[in-house]
């Protein structure tokens, strides 16, 4: 018996990387997963082919598309009980050299877009009388990172959004928590490598040297945390941020 | 279910008395662990702790999970606790936690595998008037956990902590946590938290957000 047998879950940004790992782990635990990606391309089709689930393409930055997508998922699977807000955009440039649209694009997807997703999913959770929302921050949110000011600002805001929504929704048995992953082995690391002017392999080595665990994380490291937070076993957590980062930072909040 | 590297399923719960230690020991047993207990008397002197841990490892096998659970509570307005009384409080928290780690972790390091979970109180983070001594004693566990975690992480031993919220309805806003919910959090750290190092999870049921 899986820990999410029959539970309807929506994972945003799940065609690759951490999101794909979350879909795999949730499917393994028996969930009925709606798999969001910006476009319905070969990567999304590949995830569905491999792990099952319902394709749910939509650009998270487009409020109308988000509303339509959530409606389609609910029509096909019923109300969403677990929402995982994983989709993210990061472009690295010095603050003064980054075009304002490009800077705000990151905030519009990482923060504002997911506020629209939460708003679209909440009425269904209220009808169910329960729900779990897992927001995604990042190691680079709380500590900041050079050439990633837009990304860091959006991801830091998510920690506060999680606290506020956690307080606000807990009385309705809708539990909001946040995951702030450290350096994880995903295609996104190529962006970091390009910014640092090194090869992807060298980037992996540089990161691993600074991680107390001695390695970078895997998407499944994060997916296991998300599955925990998606179940009643995580009842002790309201608005909290969990940090699977190999020990790179060791905050308590 | 566990493939978190806990091939030999022997756990040691350090700290006696209280609902929390029983709930955690029971849950570990339910998940298939043989569970040894270190009583408070074993934890007050380093040599005694080492001897007790060796006896347990001798009968149950190598310990792969250590959970430290200090239970002594004592409070007084700051300035009104005698030195011996404060000494006992600090011994019961930082002393017992570090004695248990010193007794159990060397064998984990030799095996290149193991996980330690230190239990502390949310008061370490929140603070509360009249609890300065207790908050300082339990707060010292947080700082120890984070530093010790960095010393042994590369040797395959994961050290993390749980700052536990009020265990009964709080007088003000009513948020609290149940012993079983803390046990659920322990099992997460044992089974599914392979990339957690030096983290202190705040399991408070919303008492501290």
Between these two residues, A118 and B40, which has the higher pLDDT value?
A118
Check residue A1 and give its pLDDT.
Answer: 81
Is residue A208 situated within a structural domain? yes
CB A184 within 8 A of CB A17: yes
How many degrees, rounded to 5, is the angle at CA A112 between CA A107 and CA A117? 135
Q: Which residue of A has its CA nearest to B164?
A: A236
Q: Residue B4 has what pLDDT?
A: 41
* CA–CA dist A208, A187 (Å, integer): 16
A63 Cβ contact partners less than 8 Å away, ≥ 6 residues apart: A113, A116
pLDDT exceeds cutoff 50 at B77: yes
Output the domain CATH number for residue A157. 3.40.50.720
Instruction: Tell me the residue range of the domain where B117 lies.
Output: 10-203
Same domain membership, residue A211 and residue A233: no
Q: In chain A, which residues have their Cβ closer than 8 Å to the Cβ of B121?
A: none
**What length is written for chain B?**
209
For the whole model, what pTM was predicted?
0.94
A139 and A224 inside one domain: yes
Give pLDDT, residue B171.
Answer: 58
**pLDDT of B121 strictly over 50:** yes
The answer on pLDDT for B83 being more than 80 is: yes
Q: Is residue A248 part of a domain?
A: no
Average pLDDT over chain B, rounded to an integer: 93
A200-218 average pLDDT score: 95
pLDDT at B17 over 90: no
Q: Into how many domains does chain A fold?
A: 2
Mean pLDDT of A59-86: 98
Domain for residue B121, yes or no?
Answer: yes
Question: Structure tokens of B87?
Answer: 């000494």
Whether residue A174 sits in one domain with residue A236: yes
- Within chain A, residue ranges assigned H as helices are 17-28, 42-51, 63-77, 100-107, 114-128, 140-143, 149-169, 189-196, 200-209, 219-229
**E-assigned strand segments in B39-101:** 65-68
Distance (Å, whole) CA B91 – CA B105: 19
Task: Say if A150 falls within a structural domain.
Answer: yes
The answer on pLDDT for B2 being more than 80 is no
Domain of A200?
187-216
| pLDDT of amino acid A252 | 67
pLDDT digits (tens, 9 = 90+) for B176-190: 999 999 999 999 999
Say how far apart CA B63 and CA A196 lie, in whole Å. 43
Answer whether B69's CB lies under 8 Å from B92's CB: no
Domain containing residue B27: CATH number: 3.40.50.720
In a domain, B171, yes or no: yes
Alpha carbon distance A122, A97 (integer Å): 38
Q: What is the pLDDT of residue A181?
A: 98
Instruction: Kindly determine whether residue B197 and residue A247, on different chains, have CB atoms separated by under 8 Å.
Output: yes
- Among residues 29-68 of chain B, which lie with CB inside 8 Å of chain A? none
Q: Are residues A198 and A80 in the same domain?
A: no
Question: In this complex, which of A170, A213, A252 lies closest to B197 when CB atoms are compared?
Answer: A213
Residues of B with active-site annotation: 134
> Shortest CB distance from B209 goes to which of A163, A182, A221?
A163
> Residue B75: what are its φ and ψ, rounded to 5°?
-145, 145
Residue A140 has pLDDT above 70, yes or no: yes
Q: Could you tell me if A83 and A203 lie in one domain?
A: no
Pair (A113, A140) in one structural domain: yes
Residue A66 placed within a domain: yes
pLDDT of residue B169: 65
Determine, for residues B197 and A250 on separate chains, whether the beta-carbon distance falls below 8 Å.
yes
Q: Could you tell me the two tokens for B17?
A: 């008395």
Determine the distance in angstroms separating the CA of A20 from the nearest CA of chain B, rounded to an integer: 18
Determine, yes or no, domain membership for A253: no
- Is the pLDDT confidence value at A101 over 50? yes
Beta-bridge partner residues of A54 = A34
Task: Find the mean pLDDT for residues B133-140.
Answer: 96
In a domain, B2, yes or no: no
Is residue A149 included in any domain, yes or no?
yes
Residue B89 lies in a domain: yes
Q: Are residues A140 and A35 in the same domain?
A: yes
Indicate whether A90 and A139 sit together in one domain.
yes
Q: Mean pLDDT for chain A? A: 96
In Å, what is the CA distance from B63 to each residue of B4, B12, B103, B104, B185?
15, 7, 11, 7, 19
- Å between B170 CA and nearest CA of chain A: 14
Report whether pLDDT(B6) > 60: no
Residue B3 within any structural domain of the chain: no
**Mean pLDDT of all residues in A239-247:** 97
Q: Which two tokens stand for residue A180?
A: 């702030």
Cβ count within 10 A of residue B13: 26
In the predicted model, is pLDDT for residue B1 greater than 80?
no
pLDDT band at B40 (very low <50, low <70, confident <90, very high): confident
Q: What is the pLDDT of residues B146-168, one digit of tens each?
A: 999 999 999 999 999 999 999 87
Residue B7's pLDDT is what? 57
The region of weakest confidence among A188-197, B49-58, B109-118 is A188-197
Rounded Cα distance, B162 and B142, in Å: 9
pLDDT level of residue B174 (50, 70, 90 thresholds): confident
Helix B132-152 with B83-90: angle, nearest 10 deg: 40
A-chain CB neighbours of B184 within 8 Å are: 233-236
Q: Indicate yes or no: CB of A238 within 8 angstroms of CB of B205.
A: yes
| Neighbouring-strand partners of residue B12 | B36, B66
Whether pLDDT at A106 is above 60: yes
Q: Are residues A69 and A92 in the same domain?
A: yes
Indicate the length of chain A as a whole number.
253
The structural domain count of chain B equals 1
- Is residue A202 located within the same domain as residue A229? no
In this structure, are A99 and A111 located in the same domain?
A: yes
């Amino acid at each position: 018996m899986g820990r999410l047998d029959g539970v309807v879950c929506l994972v945003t940004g799940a065609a690759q990387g951490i999101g794909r790992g979350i879909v795999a782990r949730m499917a393994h635990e028996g969930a009925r997963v709606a798999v969001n990606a910006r476009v319905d391309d070969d990567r999304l089709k590949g995830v569905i082919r491999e792990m099952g689930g319902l394709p749910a393409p939509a650009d998270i930055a487009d409020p109308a598309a988000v509303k339509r997508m959530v409606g389609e998922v609910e029509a096909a699977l019923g109300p969403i009980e677990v929402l995982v807000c994983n989709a993210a955009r990061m472009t690295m440039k010095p603050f003064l050299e980054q075009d304002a649209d490009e800077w705000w694009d990151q905030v519009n997807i990482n923060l504002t877009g997911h506020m629209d997703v939460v708003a679209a999913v909440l009425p269904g959770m209220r009808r169910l009388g329960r729900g779990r929302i897992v927001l995604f921050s990042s190691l680079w949110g709380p500590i900041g990172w050079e050439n990633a000011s837009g990304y860091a600002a959006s991801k830091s805001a998510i920690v506060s959004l999680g606290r506020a929504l956690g307080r606000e929704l807990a009385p309705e048995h809708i539990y909001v928590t946040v995951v702030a992953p450290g350096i994880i082995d995903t295609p996104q690391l190529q962006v970091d490598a390009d910014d640092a002017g090194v090869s992807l392999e060298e980037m992996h080595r540089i990161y691993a040297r600074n991680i107390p665990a001695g390695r970078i994380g895997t998407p499944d490291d994060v997916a296991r945390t998300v599955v925990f937070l998606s179940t009643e076993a995580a009842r002790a957590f309201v608005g909290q941020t969990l940090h699977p980062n190999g020990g790179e930072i060791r905050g308590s909040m | 279910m566990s493939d978190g590297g806990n091939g030999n399923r022997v756990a040691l719960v350090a700290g006696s008395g209280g609902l929390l230690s029983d709930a955690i020991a029971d849950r570990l047993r339910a998940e298939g662990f043989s569970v040894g207990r270190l009583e408070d008397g074993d934890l007050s002197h380093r040599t005694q702790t080492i001897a007790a841990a060796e006896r347990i490892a001798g009968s149950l096998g190598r310990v792969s999970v250590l959970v430290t659970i200090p239970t002594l509570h004592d409070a007084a307005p700051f300035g009104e606790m005698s030195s011996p009384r404060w000494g006992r409080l600090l011994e019961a928290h930082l002393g017992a936690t570090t004695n248990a780690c010193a007794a159990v972790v060397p064998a984990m390091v030799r095996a290149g595998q193991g996980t330690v979970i230190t239990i502390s109180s949310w008061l370490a983070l929140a603070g509360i008037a009249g609890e300065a001594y207790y908050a300082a004693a339990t707060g010292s566990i947080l700082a120890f956990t984070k530093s010790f975690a960095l010393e042994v992480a590369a040797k395959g031993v994961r050290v993390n902590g749980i700052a536990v919220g009020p265990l009964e309805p709080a007088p003000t806003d009513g948020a609290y946590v149940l012993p079983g919910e803390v046990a659920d959090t322990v099992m997460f750290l044992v089974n599914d938290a392979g990339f957690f190092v030096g983290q202190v999870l705040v399991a408070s049921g919303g008492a501290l957000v």
